[in-house]
Amino acid sequence: MSVDASPLVDALLERSRGRLAARDRLDALEDTGSAPTPATLTRQEPGVAEAQVEEALDNILSALAVRANRQTLRALRDGRMPAGELEVLMRAGLVIDTWAGGSPQASAVGSGVLTLLDEVCAAAALRLRGSLEDGHAD
């Protein structure tokens, strides 16, 4: 069984680009005129893009490593108001706040990554059941 990882790839791309854009804006405020922007360094220097993506992955996985956070994100994705804390999920880009009096909601990134995790868990559970039926319980 194959699981499509494109939601996670899209999430990593979106988070990495967003962080780079923010860093570029901050650097522009402190403009020294001679240093390359973070986006330029990421494009040109070996290993910098990989480090950016790893950082984004760390943030997403640490937010979703806690079951309560996944349950909160699931509730938002399904249109319910969760009882759980939102801050960690917001910092990871998995939840957005409408700020217009509306309620927070799962971002496209959050919904996609959560769907991917649900598919991975379902596939692993299916394989576990199959291995137990084959007598590999030990």
Each of the 138 residues of the chain gets a pLDDT tens digit; together they read 577 788 888 888 888 888 888 888 887 777 666 677 778 888 888 888 899 889 888 988 899 999 999 999 999 988 888 877 888 888 888 888 766 667 788 888 888 888 888 888 888 899 899 999 877 655
96 backbone dihedrals φ, ψ, rounded to 5°: -120, 150
Q: Which pLDDT belongs to residue 49?
A: 87
Q: Which pLDDT belongs to residue 68?
A: 92
Q: Which pLDDT belongs to residue 100?
A: 60
Q: How far apart are the C-alpha atoms of 109 and 10, rounded to whole Å? A: 7
